[in-house]
Amino acid sequence: MRKYRSRVQIMIDILKVIHKRGKARPTHILYGANLSHDRLKKYLRELEENGLIIKEALGGYVVYRLTSKGLRLLREYDKIRRFAEAFGIEL
């Protein structure tokens, strides 16, 4: 059976893509996180509203980079995932 990613997992995937590239354009995030355009827009807006990423203009393009809060979340997520796994909680 195909396993769908949870909302949190999708957000983490987006943060990982941005972290890996330093600054990422929406197209890179779209392919890296394997999302449709509409869903990507929705998630990027949510991440921005939560202060996890920041939108910038760079050479006529829109790019996203992680905020310190986003970076902290990415680092803590592994611990959270392991804790959840230990207690049988599927993220």
The residues binding another protein (CB under 8 A) are 8, 73, 76-80, 82-91
Nearer to another protein, 63 or 70 (CB): 70
Nearest C-alpha neighbor of 72 from the set 8, 15, 6: 15
Q: Rounded CA gap, 15 and 5, in Å? A: 15
What minimum distance in Å lies between the beta carbon of 62 and another protein? 26
> In angstroms, what is the minimal distance from the CB of 87 to another protein?
6
C-beta of 34: minimal distance to another protein in Å?
A: 20
Of 54 and 80, which has the nearer Cβ to another protein? 80
> Within a 13 Å sphere around the CA of 28, how many CA atoms are in the beta-carbon half?
16
